[in-house]
Amino acid sequence: MEISKENFVLQKVSIQSLICQNSWVKNESRTSFLKSCLKSNNPQGLLHFGMMQYFAGMKLEKGLFKIENAAKYEIKEASYILGLVLLCSGEENNVNRGMTLLTSIMKELKGKGIVKCRKKLRDFLHSIWFKNNLISNNKPHIACPEQHQGKILSNWDVGYYYDEDYEDNIVCDFCKCAREIELFYQMLPSVV
Ligand SMILES: [Zn+2]
């Protein structure tokens, strides 16, 4: 299907700076522009509105659908967030998929890229009114078959989570995923 030139531009334009503006301040032209970008499947818009719906609006299916679509456009943060969300969705079928996705995206992103995703997710979660108690009540436990966790957990230093120069000394995929889950739950604001 051919898409119009306008739709093409709206799909490709970077809207990150607009998204980062204080969303509590109403600005009609900004809102209508962002909606047009969303209609044109702008991946940053899909990710942002998907996260809004999933974490703050409790429109779980619609939110997840948008985050999945953003991930299809190879937005790496979207794959990272999708992996985490699937792992923590409380649905058994999603757990394996989430783990596979999170493991492969972390391999691709490496240290700096992972830290960037963590910061983006943390800043987003702290900018909204978080309402998703499905996530809050379903912290998953990933059992490492090699039983590293006891040893590794005691060596984890929270300070390294947001340090772009940190050397990742965890090589086991299970433990890597368990660490991201631990961090994700530290970021989550409590549901009021
Ligand atoms: Zn392990």
Query: For the chain, what are the domain ranges?
Result: 42-187
pLDDT at 98: 94
Instruction: Answer with the residue of higher pLDDT: 17 or 82.
Output: 82
pLDDT at 164: 81
Query: How large is the average pLDDT for residues 26-45?
Result: 82
Expressed in angstroms and rounded, the spacing between residue 57 Cα and the centre of ligand 1 is: 35
Query: How large is the average pLDDT for residues 73-96?
Result: 91
Expressed in angstroms and rounded, the spacing between residue 151 Cα and the centre of ligand 1 is: 10
Structure tokens given for 185: 């739950």
Expressed in angstroms and rounded, the spacing between residue 175 Cα and the centre of ligand 1 is: 4
pLDDT at 10: 74
Expressed in angstroms and rounded, the spacing between residue 182 Cα and the centre of ligand 1 is: 14
Expressed in angstroms and rounded, the spacing between residue 32 Cα and the centre of ligand 1 is: 47
Expressed in angstroms and rounded, the spacing between residue 150 Cα and the centre of ligand 1 is: 9
Q: Among the listed ranges 27-41, 70-84, 174-188, which one has the minimum average pLDDT value?
A: 27-41
Q: How many CA atoms lie within 13 A of 141 on its CB side?
A: 4
Which ranges constitute the DSSP H helices of the chain?
5-12, 16-20, 28-39, 43-51, 60-72, 76-87, 92-125, 133-136, 149-155, 173-187
Torsion angle of C-alpha atoms 73, 74, 78, 81, degrees rounded to 10: 140
Expressed in angstroms and rounded, the spacing between residue 149 Cα and the centre of ligand 1 is: 6
Expressed in angstroms and rounded, the spacing between residue 155 Cα and the centre of ligand 1 is: 13
Q: Among the listed ranges 10-19, 26-35, 94-103, 170-179, which one has the minimum average pLDDT value?
A: 10-19
